[in-house]
Chain A
Amino acid sequence: MLFNSLSFVVFLVIVLALYYSKLLKWTGKKRMLLLASYVFYGLWNPPLVILLWISTIVDWTAGNKLAIETNKKKRKMWLLLSMFVNLGFLAFFKYGNFLLENFTLGMNALGLAYEPKPMDIILPMGISFYTFQTMSYTIDMYNKKIKPARTFLDFALYVTFFPQLVAGPIVRAKDLITQFYEEKKATSQQFIWGTFLLTIGLFQKVVLADTMLADVSDEVFGSKDLLHSLDAWTGTLAFSGQIFFDFAGYSTCAIGIALMLGIILPDNFRYPYASIGFSDLWKRWHISLSTWLRDYLYIPLGGNKNGITRMYVALMLTMLLGGLWHGAAWTFVIWGALHGTYLVIERLLKQKINVKINAFNGILLALLTYTLVNFTWVFFRAREFSTAKNMISSMLFMNPEGAKILHDFDIIKVLILTSILFICHWIMRNTSMKEVSQKISPLVLGIVWAIMLFLIAIAQGSSEQFIYFQF
C-alpha cells in the first residue's frame, strides 16, 4: 500500500479509530497494529508476508537464545543463522538474477557456452529495509548491547511496524521495541504535528518529486541520444531533487504517521544538499542506513583502529556494499565506489588542509559537494553504463553539439526548483522544521499547510510508487 493512495487514507482512518477507541487495551492495540501492518504489506502481494514471518520467527528465536547462551561457539551459530536467513533472502530475491547474469558472463568469458533460463524472481517490497532492521536486533543481542524483546508481539511489531516497514527509517531495536512496552498515545500537539509531517511528506512526493521533476529526469535518462550539456545537467539536477523529495518524503510521512500513534521515529534526513563534504553528507542523507553500515559493517571491518590503509579499505568496502544494497546492478556499485573515493579524498585533504568554515566558503563548499553528488546520481539513475558515460561526458561539456530534448519551461522549472531546494537546505542546515515552525505565526503556518493540501489534491495522479521501495 502506498501512502499517496486512497486506500491508505481509508486504512489510516480505520487504524487511528481503533487505536484511539476504548474497545482495545494496549496489548489489543498492538495486535491490531501488527495485523494492520500485515494487511498494509499483504495488499501488495499476500504470499510475501511469509518472508516477514520467517524473518520475525528466526530473529526472535535467535535473540532469545543469545540472551541465555554463554557458549561462544553456539552464540556465533545463532548469529550466523540469522544472517544466513536474512542475507539469504536478500541474495535470492534481490541479487539472484544479478548473480546469475554475472555467472553467465563469467562462463561465457571462459569460452563455456552457458545460457540459463531467466529466474523471473519477484522483488519483495522493502526487503532490504526489514532484513537490515531485524538483523540489527540479533547483532545487538550478540554484542550484548540490548535486552531481548519482552514479548513476541513486541518483537513482531518492531519488525513489521507499517509506517516504516517498506522504506525505513531502519530503526534500531533499542529505539523502537521499548516504546511498545508502555501504552502510547499521541498528545494533541504530537498528533497535529504528525499530520503536518504527513502533509509535507506527501507534498514532497506527489507535488515536487512526481509532478515537477520525474518527467524531466525520465526523459533525459531514457534518451538514447548524446545530449547537450544543459539537458544533461537539467536531467541530473531533476533526479537529484526527485530522489530527495521521494525518499525524504516517505521518511517524513513515516515519522508523521508514527507520531500520530504516539511513537517516535528517528530523523532520516537533515537537509543533505547543504552538506559540506561527504562525511557531512552521510550524516544527513539516509541517516538510518549510514549509521547501520557504520555500526554493523565499517566498525566490524576495523574502522579507523587498524591504521590508515585498513581504514580506507574498510571505508571503500562499506560504500561499495552500501551501493549494492541499493540495487543489484554494477551502476550502483560504481555509485558506492564514487562515494567511497570522495570520502577517502576528503579525509586525505583534511589531514593537509585546515579550512575554517564561514558563511561564504561554507556555501561554496556545499555547492561543490552538491555538484559532486550530482555526478554520483548519474550512476544511480542510469540503467546502463553507456547512458551514464554519455551523461557524464555531456555534463563535462564535451558534447557541444549534443541533442536538445528539453523545452525551455522544463529547464527553467528544474533550475528554479533545485536552486530553491539548495538554498532551503542551506538556510535549514543548522536548524529543524520544528524550530522554524515555532518561530512563525500560526496563520502563516496554516496558509503554507493549506497551499500544500491544495496542491496535493490537484496534483493527484496515478499513485506513483516510491523509488526506494525497490531497494
Chain B
Amino acid sequence: MNLKQSMLIALILSLLSLGAWEMYWRAQNKLPDLDDNKDLWAVQRAKAETLSEDGVILMGSSRVLFDIQLDQWENETGVRPIQLASAGASPLPIFHDIVNNTDFKGTVLVGVTPGLFFSTTFPKAGPWKRAQSRVDYFEDRTYAQRLNHWLSLPLQKNLVLVSTSEEGWSDDIDLKSLLNNFNSGDRTGKPQYPPFNTFAYIGQDRNNPMSEKTATDTAFANSIKAAWKFVIMGNKNPPEKEATTNFFVADAKKFMERGGNLILVRCPSSGWIKEGEDKFLSRADLWDPLVKATKANAYYYEDYDQLKDLECPELSHLSATDARFFTTELVKIMKADGALSNSKTN
C-alpha cells in the first residue's frame, strides 16, 4: 500500500475538482456572498450591549432589512445603525430582548410589516420562532461557534463553492440543496413550494440591498412574487391584533420610560400584496391603534409624497436604488420632525 502516492493523488484531484467547481458556478453568474445566518445576526446583536444613547438599532422584518440602507442612514445622521431586522420574522421577540436584556436607551426603529408584526405571540409559530431562535442563539452561542463564524467569513467572501444558507434558498449550491432540486415525483398531494431564489446580497454588518437581477429581470422578480403568493395564500391564520399589540406596547412603554426613542415605520409594498394588506390588515385596524397605544413617532410611507409612489419590483421590497432614496428621505423627514438627532451637526 503506497499511501503517500494515494494522498498525493487525492490532494491533486480534489484541488482540481474544487477549482473546476468554483469556476463552473462563477460561469453561472454566482458571486461569493455572505449568509444572513444566526451568527451574522448575533455579531450585530452583541454590539447593542455597549451601544451609547446616540446609537440606533433597526428591527423588523425583511422590509426594514431591504429598505433601510445603512450607508445612507450614516451619511444623513453620522451614525451607522445596527441592523437586527430578520426576514420572515416578527420583530416582537427581538424588541423584547433589547428592552429587557440591555440598558440601551438610544433610538430603536421598528418596521411594521402588518402580516408579520401582528401575526402571533405563540412561541412555536414560525414568525415568532424565527426571531426568538436568533435571540436564543445570541445568548447560547459557544466560543467555538464564534470562532467558526469568524473563520468562515473570509471563505464566504472569496469562494462561491462554500456559499450556503440557513434559509435554504432554491439556488443554493451546497450538496444538500443540489440534491433537493432532484425532488421530482410528488406523492404527498400537498401544494409544493415554488422555486424561491435569493434576491439580495448581505454585507458583514447586515446591510442588505436587493440584487440588480431582481430589480431588472421581470421573469426573476415574478418567480419571487410566485413564492410570496404561495406563502401568503397558504397562511390561514388570522392576525392576533390584541395579543401582539399588548405585548409590544408593554415593552415600548418600558423602553420609552427609561428614555429610549421609539420610531415605528411602515415600509412600502405594491400590487396585490399592498391590496391584500390594505384590505385584510388595514392601517385603520392595526397601524393606527398601535401608534396611538405606543405614542411613538410613527411614519407611514403613504403619508409622504416623495415615498408613496415607490414600487417594489417583487411587490414587497424596494430595489437597491429606491431603498437608498427611501432611507435618505425617511431620515430627512424624521430629522425635520425631531424624531432623530443629527450627530454630524450636533
Contacts and interface: CB of A to CB of B under 8 A. Distances in A.
Given A189-B3, A407-B186, A437-B1, A446 B179 contact: no
B180 to A, nearest CB: 8
Most buried by B among A212, A442, A455: A442
A215 B168 CA distance: 13
A409 B185 contact: yes
Given A6-B152, A192-B4, A413 B179 contact: yes
Contacts of A207: 175
B10 interface: yes
Interface string A157-169: 0000000000000
Interface string A423-460: 00000000000000110001101110110011101111
A21 interface: no
B174 A460 contact: yes
A43 interface: yes
Interface string A23-63: 00000000000000000001111100000000000000000
A436 to B, nearest CB: 10
Nearest to B4: A192
Q: Which of under 10, 10 to 19, 20 to 34, or 35 or more describes the interface residues of A?
A: 35 or more
A86 B161 CA distance: 46
Contact of A460 (B2, B162, B185): B162
A408 B6 contact: no
Interface in B1-24: 1-14, 17-18, 21
A45 B1 contact: no
A199 B179 CA distance: 22
A43 B141 CA distance: 10
A377 interface: no
Contacts of A1: 144
Contact of A408 (B10, B18, B147, B187): B187
A463 B148 contact: yes
Nearest to B18: A457
Contacts of A279: none
Contacts of A458: 18, 21, 161, 173-175
B183 A43 contact: no
A404 B155 CA distance: 40
A449 B9 contact: yes
Query: What's the dominant secondary structure at chain A's contact region?
Result: helix
B142 A45 contact: yes
A437 B8 CA distance: 16
B156 to A, nearest CB: 11
Contacts of B4: 188, 192
A446 B1 contact: no
A457 B142 CA distance: 23
Contacts of A445: 1, 3, 6, 9-10
A192 B10 CA distance: 12
Contact of B144 (A2, A212, A407, A449): A2
A461 interface: yes
A372 interface: no
B34 to A, nearest CB: 14
Interface in A210-237: 210-212, 215
A107 to B, nearest CB: 28
A220 to B, nearest CB: 12
Contacts of B188: 404-407
Nearest to A230: B187
A453 B18 CA distance: 9
B157 to A, nearest CB: 14
Contacts of B319: none
Nearest to A462: B166
Contacts of A5: 144, 148
B295 to A, nearest CB: 37
Nearest to B21: A458
Nearest to A445: B6
B152 A442 contact: no
Interface in A149-192: 188-189, 192
Interface string A391-431: 00000000000001111111001000000000000000000
A454 B17 contact: yes
A459 B3 CA distance: 25
B47 interface: no
A159 to B, nearest CB: 21
Nearest to B37: A462
A224 B93 CA distance: 27
Nearest to A122: B140
B187 A407 contact: yes
B144 A453 contact: no
A462 B39 CA distance: 10
Nearest to B10: A449
A193 interface: yes
Contacts of B166: 462
Interface of A: 1-2, 5-7, 10, 42-46, 188-189, 192-193, 195-196, 199, 207, 210-212, 215, 404-410, 413, 437-438, 442-443, 445-447, 449-450, 453-455, 457-463
25 contacts: A7-B148, A44-B142, A192-B7, A196-B6, A407-B186, A407-B188, A408-B187, A409-B179, A409-B182, A409-B183, A409-B185, A410-B183, A442-B9, A446-B8, A446-B10, A447-B10, A449-B14, A450-B10, A450-B14, A454-B17, A457-B162, A459-B175, A460-B162, A462-B164, A463-B145
Given A46-B143, A408-B187, A458-B18, 15 more contacts: A6-B152, A43-B142, A211-B176, A404-B189, A405-B188, A409-B183, A409-B184, A445-B1, A445-B6, A445-B10, A446-B5, A454-B14, A454-B17, A460-B164, A462-B164
List of 3 A-B pairs having minimum Cβ-Cβ separation, nearest first: A446-B9, A408-B185, A449-B10
